[in-house]
Amino acid sequence: MLKLILILVIFSFLFTCAPETSVRRGFVAKPCLDCHKDKLDEFQKRYVHSPMSKKDCESCHLRHGKIAVLSLKEREERKLCFLCHAQMSENIEKTTYVHTALKQGKCLPCHNPHASDNEFLQRKIGNEQCFTCHNQALFTRHKQHKPLSDGCHVCHSAHGSQNGDNLIKPETELCQSCHNFGEKRFKDSHKGYPVQNGRCSGCHTPHSSTNEKLLREAVHAPLDLGQCSSCHRPANDPEPLNVIATDGKLCYTCHEKEEKEFKKLHRHRPADEGRCQNCHSPHATDYAKVTLMDKNYLCLNCHKKKEDLLKMSRLHMPIKDRGCTACHDPHASQDRFYLKAPEKQICFTCHGKTEEELKQKYTHMPFAGIDCKNCHDSHGSNNISMLKIPVTDLCYSCHGKEKKEFFKTYIHNPVNNRKCISCHKPHASLYKKLLNNPPDQLCVSCHGDMFLQLEDAVVHKPFKEKSCRTCHSPHASEYPAITIISMPKLCYGCHRDMESGVNSVNNRHLPVEEGKCTTCHSPHGTKIKHLLFNRPKELCLSCHERIVTTTARKGHITMESGDCLSCHLPHFSELNYLQNARDPELCVKCHKGDERLSKIHLRPVIKIKKCLNCHEPHVTEKPGMLRKIKHVPFAKGDCIECHE
């Protein structure tokens, strides 16, 4: 027994050490290119990415995918590339200035991940690659720097550098590789000053310019005239690049007029402290007034709280076109916020038509006080008309009481859609409640079709006068059709005689009993008298269809002509079935002079006590409008059997 156990243990040990069989259960992996045939053309290109050439798609892709990342192993492009390009990853980590695209984690703007006809898998050749992001116009002006024709990479590193602007060398050293700073011509053109101790790009553009000297687009007058000694010590001075005066004192040696103007009540701090170079270059820039940055970015460089301003979907047009200085004086002003005009007038310098609205009869309170900032953001907003918050929320920020009142069962569409300005003007109006149009025309602006359709109709008086608010609330109501009160009270407001009549009797038409006047009558107008929705016969039979459910189509002559009202009252009556007279007086009105009927009835018609005991009032299958079931002697015409 012991031997058997020992054999089993040895066999078990050997089995666990046996190599894995080559046969696997499950699906056999299918090559990616069997499906992605559109990628086969990539192999014909001159340069093929190494994993692609080996058909090793899973170097970058996951076979079964990963949510929202195109089945890539890494969500960020740069991290994915660095899985293989580890050395570049290390270099970039140590690099001070990284190319913007790469800094944002993107490689694909420049490189094709599969294959390319260009070296380094570049999407385009040479400068064309750079111009996909950089504005080509800035590189193709009249005078172009010679290295530009040799390609951007002559001066710039494609991925990053320890030098600003991704330069391959420090700026002065890079310029010196082409320009001999010790050459007489170079010295003479710079008035003998050792400019190599400064920054060449402080005066010159490195790419292209509209002038022959490759100077930047805005040049300080002394530099343009070659009068360097206006600001600097003489060229033969031991420290020639030092200035002859400090800060604003130097600028005011020429700008005397400006110095006086800058002494206003509200002074921009840099100007007040004489720090002109916080905003201006003393030599040259590519921006107007020799400013260090473009119109808005210069201000945002200090005013960090406004950094998101330029991202607004609705930027104030002056800022967009002319920058912050369209409204603000960059140096000093008599008005708060360095405005170029008083705070309550600055908006009207552009919005003259809006100022005219102040003369209108009714003005919105904030507008009357010229408090534009109460509703609008003066710089920009993501809301229409640069409103601080969405338009209806803005209205409700003051009109909170109205907001509660409007929360009812039935709401006017503009109110429900939060569009107050569909009916109201935000600034001023000729009409009360700041309405866009006169009250009798306001509803027409949306419901015009309704009025056109009823031009030749019988029209309800309030509708004809376009006095819609007689019946409807303009905002919201607890009653259908946004009526101001429920029916029939609404109708009784004008039709008081109807109300007293209805309340004086017990027999009322069901729609009247239920207060549903609009079951029969249009509240606006129809082509039929009394504002009826249909001719009386069709209108009555739309509810009383039981009257004509027999096979007989011939009926009472007045009913056939559609004159139900010859026998019935439409609203109320003291008699059953809303009859307008009792039986037999109701019948006798028409039949009293018929001699034929007197013979048939063996007496004058006026002496018959009850007509409806024998006759149907509407339709029947029997001649003479007789009821279906008859007394046997009567059916035989033997009246004498019962009557004398």
pLDDT class of 10 with cuts at 50, 70, 90: very low
Which are the contacts of 321, defined by CB distance < 8 A and separation ≥ 6? none
CA distances from 475 to 402, 408, 419 (A): 9, 9, 11
pLDDT class of 561 with cuts at 50, 70, 90: confident
pLDDT in tens, 492-511: 999 999 999 999 999 999 99
CA dihedral 408, 412, 418, 421 (to 10 degrees): -140
- pTM flag (> 0.75): no
Q: Are 521 and 532 in contact (CB under 8 A)?
A: yes
What is the enclosing helix (H) or strand (E) of 115?
strand 115-116
- Detail the DSSP E strand segments found in 479-601: 507-508, 525-526, 572-573
Which are the contacts of 621, defined by CB distance < 8 A and separation ≥ 6? 550, 551, 552, 628
CA distances from 21 to 15, 18, 174 (A): 12, 9, 64
pLDDT at 140 exceeding the cut of 60: yes
**Mean pLDDT in the chain?**
88
The residue among 254, 258, 231 whose CA lies nearest residue 242 is 231
How far apart, in whole angstroms, are the C-alpha atoms of residue 437 and residue 451? 16
Higher pLDDT, 187 or 12: 187
pLDDT class of 15 with cuts at 50, 70, 90: very low
pLDDT in tens, 282-341: 999 999 999 999 888 999 999 998 888 888 999 999 999 999 999 999 999 999 999 999
Q: 380 - beta bridge partners? A: 315
The one-character DSSP state at 29 is: P
Residues 429-438: contacts with CB within 8 Å, 24+ apart?
Answer: 429/360, 429/361, 429/362, 430/360, 430/361, 430/362, 431/361, 431/362, 432/362, 433/362, 434/362, 434/364
pLDDT class of 14 with cuts at 50, 70, 90: very low
Q: DSSP labels for 413-450? A: HHHHTT-GGGTB-SSEESSGGGBSS-HHHHTHHHHHHH
Let me know the angle formed at the C-alpha of 149 by 143 and 151, rounded to the nearest 5 degrees: 130
> What per-residue confidence (pLDDT) applies to 644?
62
> What per-residue confidence (pLDDT) applies to 622?
76
The residue among 257, 247, 256 whose CA lies nearest residue 282 is 247
> What per-residue confidence (pLDDT) applies to 205?
93
Mean pLDDT of 360-372: 94
> What per-residue confidence (pLDDT) applies to 5?
52
- Reading the block at residue 640, the tokens are 């004498």
Higher pLDDT, 47 or 641: 47
DSSP-based helix, strand, coil % in the chain, nearest 5? 45, 10, 45
CA dihedral 606, 612, 615, 617 (to 10 degrees): 110
Instruction: Indicate if the alpha-carbon torsion angle 107, 109, 114, 117 is positive or negative.
Output: negative
> What per-residue confidence (pLDDT) applies to 574?
93
Q: 209 - beta bridge partners? A: 143
What is the enclosing helix (H) or strand (E) of 50?
helix 50-53
> What per-residue confidence (pLDDT) applies to 618?
86
Tell how strand 97-98 and strand 160-161 pair up: antiparallel
Look-up: residue for tokens 């016969």? Answer: 537
> What per-residue confidence (pLDDT) applies to 643?
66
Give the SS3 label for residue 266: strand
pLDDT class of 553 with cuts at 50, 70, 90: low
pLDDT in tens, 581-592: 998 898 888 888
Look-up: residue for tokens 């080509």? Answer: 136
pLDDT in tens, 405-439: 899 999 999 999 989 999 999 999 999 999 999 98
> What per-residue confidence (pLDDT) applies to 65?
64
- Reading the block at residue 276, the tokens are 């002109």
Proportion of the chain above pLDDT 90, given as a percent: 67
Q: Is the peptide bond before 270 cis (omega within 30 degrees of 0)?
A: no
How far apart, in whole angstroms, are the C-alpha atoms of residue 268 and residue 325? 12
What is the enclosing helix (H) or strand (E) of 189?
helix 184-189
Mean pLDDT of 227-236: 93
> What per-residue confidence (pLDDT) applies to 207?
95
Q: 615 - beta bridge partners? A: 626
Q: Are 301 and 273 in contact (CB under 8 A)?
A: no
Return the minimum-mean-pLDDT range out of 104-108, 151-155, 387-391, 639-643: 639-643
Mean pLDDT of 142-162: 93
Mean pLDDT of 551-563: 72
